[in-house]
Structure formats: C-alpha cells, structure tokens
Structure 1
Amino acid sequence: MNNRPVLVAGVDEVGRGPLAGPVVAAAVILDPENPIDGLADSKKLSEKRREELAEEIKVKALSWSISRADVEEIDQINILQASLLAMKRSVETLSHPPQLALIDGNHCPELDCAMEAIIKGDSKEPAISAASILAKVARDNEMKAMEDKYPGYGFAKHKGYPTKQHREAIIKLGITDIHRKSYAPVQQQLEL
C-alpha cells in the first residue's frame, strides 16, 4: 500500500556544469489517473523524445512549473545555492502546493512541505523524470536561442557546456554576458 500523500512533486535541475547560461529547474505533479509512458532520466532520451514527452507532461500533469537562476545569481551565491534557489522557485510556483517534494540529488531546497532527496531520482521516480525532461528541454531551447545573439560560440550545439569548441570560442571571441564569471575557465580568460 502506497502511503505517500496525494500531491507529490518531482523536482530536478539542469545546467550545473555549463560555463554559460542559467541553471533551470522544474517541478511536476503527475496525475495518477493520466499516466505518461516512457518517462526516464532526460539525459538518456533523444532530443526528439524529450521534446515529445515535454509536451505530453504539460498536457497531462496536474501541475508543472519551470524556473531558473540566472548567471548573476550563480556567480553571486554559487552553483549549488543557485540550483536550490531555482528548485525552490519551481515548487513555489506550482498551481497546486505539494504535500511532498521528491528532489533529485542529495540536497533539498528550503520548502514549506515534506521533502525527500533521492540520489539518481531522475531514473527512479517518474515525477522527477518528468521534471528533468521539462528542465532540460527549457534550458536547451534557451541556449539554442543564444546562438543568434552570440554567433560563433556554438551554444545551439553544446548548450554552454565546456566542450573543446566552447573553450576555444571563449579564447578566440572572449566572454559574453551569459558566461559564468565564477567558473575557472571563464575566470582565467578574464585575467588575461
């Protein structure tokens, strides 16, 4: 017998590792009467499948929310605190306040409900999987849009992660407004 409260939110974030762009979090309360097939850790799904599932989640979930912490916040309070802040914002902006939040990872944000941190939760809990999918699709789309604003960096391809192409672009073109100045490869470029 499942004795969990009725409104359980899955919460996850995407974008702790990149050198540029925001950290994006999502919170999702799935509808037990309206299941979604194929939910999994967003990193294990193709881009096309993630986008299809994201649309289905938005239609079928009881409630969902996507929030972010921007580059200035990341540089000011560090990436862990910015990730927790984005998660907190996501839970607080759900249309239905959850009775329990299942958080991917080993840290919980400050919330006004019961919480449980679950390591690798995005592959264990469907609601966390749904949150990881929404967060990844939202962040990827935001970084693709940066391609036009900052040509030459390859944001549509690497989404701000520290690939060889991205590190070379930073050296060649310099840093942009969306680069995280507290991250070592960006700091090193600032010091030149």
Structure 2
Amino acid sequence: MTDLQKTDYQRPDFALIAGVDEVGRGPLVGAVVTAAVILDPNKPISGLNDSKKLSEKKRLLLAEEIRSKALSWSLGRAEVEEIDELNILHATMLAMQRAVAGLHIQPEWVLVDGNRVPDGLKHCGSAVVKGDSLVPEISAASIIAKVARDAEMTELHQQYPEYNFAGHKGYPTAEHLAAIAKHGILAEHRRSYKPVRDAIERGPGAGDDSV
C-alpha cells in the first residue's frame, strides 16, 4: 500500500473506483460516519469538492445528485460505544470498511482520504492525502457522509435543544462545553474524549441528563 501525496497523485487505472471518506472524528457526541461512492462516468456530476468547502445548500443538492447518479454508494458508521472501546482512529477504520462492504457493486480499487488505509482494504486500496479535493469519488463520499451526520445531529438537537447540536454538530465549541457544564453528559457523548471525561470526573452538577 502506497500513500499518494498531493504532488504525485496519479489515478489508478481501474474502471470501478470507490472513494471513501469520514465525518465526525472531532465531535464529542455521536457516531463517526463514513461513506463509499462509485461514480458513473456516464453521469458526470459538476461541483464536487471537499464537503467542508461547500455551503450547506450546495451539499444537500449534490448529495441528492450523487445518490441518484452514482453506480453505488453506501454509508458506514461506528457508534459511540465502539469509539470509546477502540479509540477514534480504529473506529473510523472500522466504519470505512463497513461503508465499502455495503456497496452493492464490488470496486476494483478503493481510494481513501487521508494517509491510512483500513487493514481490511490494504490489498485493494490506497490513501490519498487531501483526497477530498483531488478525487471526485472521495469528494462525493465526503458530501454523502457529512449530509448524513449533520442530519443525525439535527435529530439529536430535537431531543436535546438546550445543547444546540444543530448549530455546532457536536464539536467542542465554547457553546457545547458550556451546555455540558450546565446540563451534563448525555448517553450519546463520547466518554473517551477529554472534555467529556473531565465533566464526568467533576461529578455532581452534570444534571438530570447525566448517565
């Protein structure tokens, strides 16, 4: 397995390439969500880019187009309990393998955003640094994954509006940390993450939502 750097990226000579990306390694709450996408060369999609560089409106439009035009796409995830047990890196690798396994078409090669390929994919994949800006399939995967995870945070917001998950998406913003201090830890929080661990150690004051 060779990690392909931005300066020397060359597209592998395969017809069926799956791009894989993740969203949600940094947040304090919720699953890490991954996606795998095989695009259809006969149905080009314009405007693909790193999901973080797109507006929410553009992401939603592109996600719908990707889902309708791709040869195959799949979501994978690792839950909070798996993140706390395995650590976020290994949980992310597991979620990526699940996304690829969920494709209904077997890819000939897998391109993974970043500098590491999950162990289960090393025989048929390689990593691409900044791949979400370089590889259309990875860009598409980043968009699908982000739209899916953002939707989950919106649902969580409806359950616990006092945390404003729809706004910060679970990341450790000052607002989120203040909400934890005031309202406590939820079952959906990642206990292996230091701000959550610290709040648990403070004990009383976590409120009725603490578990």
Normalised-by-shorter TM-score class: over 0.9
Aligned to 1:114: 124
For this pair of structures, how many residues does the alignment match? 192
Aligned to 1:169: 179
Gaps of 5+ in 1: none
Counterpart CA distance in 2 for 1:178 and 1:120 is: 30
Aligned to 2:34: 25
Counterpart CA distance in 1 for 2:97 and 2:154 is: 25
Ranges of 4+ aligned residues in structure 1 off by more than 4 Å: none
Counterpart CA distance in 2 for 1:111 and 1:63 is: 20
2:82 to 73, 80, 95: 73
Q: Is the counterpart of residue 13 in structure 1 residue 17 in structure 2?
A: no
Counterpart CA distance in 2 for 1:82 and 1:51 is: 26
Aligned to 1:46: 55
Counterpart CA distance in 2 for 1:160 and 1:124 is: 27
Of 151-160 and 129-138, deviating more is 151-160
* Larger Cα-atom Rg: 2
CA deviation after TM superposition for structure 1 residue 110, in Å: 2.6
Q: Is the counterpart of residue 64 in structure 1 residue 73 in structure 2?
A: yes
Gaps of 5+ in 2: 1-10, 203-211
2:193 to 178, 183, 186: 183
The alignment's TM-score, normalised by the length of structure 1, stands at 0.97
| Percent of residue pairs bearing the same amino acid type | 59
- Listed one character per residue, the Cα deviations across residues 39-76 of structure 1 (whole Å, up to 9, x for unaligned) are 00000000000000000000000000011101000000
CA deviation after TM superposition for structure 1 residue 169, in Å: 0.3
Residue identity opposite 2:148 in structure 1: A
The alignment's TM-score, normalised by the length of structure 2, stands at 0.89
Q: Is the counterpart of residue 147 in structure 1 residue 157 in structure 2?
A: yes
Residue identity opposite 2:145 in structure 1: A
Aligned to 1:37: 46
Determine helix, strand or coil for the equivalent of 2:119: coil
Determine helix, strand or coil for the equivalent of 2:68: helix
Aligned to 2:6: none
Aligned to 2:205: none
- Listed one character per residue, the Cα deviations across residues 93-131 of structure 1 (whole Å, up to 9, x for unaligned) are 100011100000011113355111001100000000000
Determine helix, strand or coil for the equivalent of 1:135: helix
CA deviation after TM superposition for structure 1 residue 3, in Å: 5.8
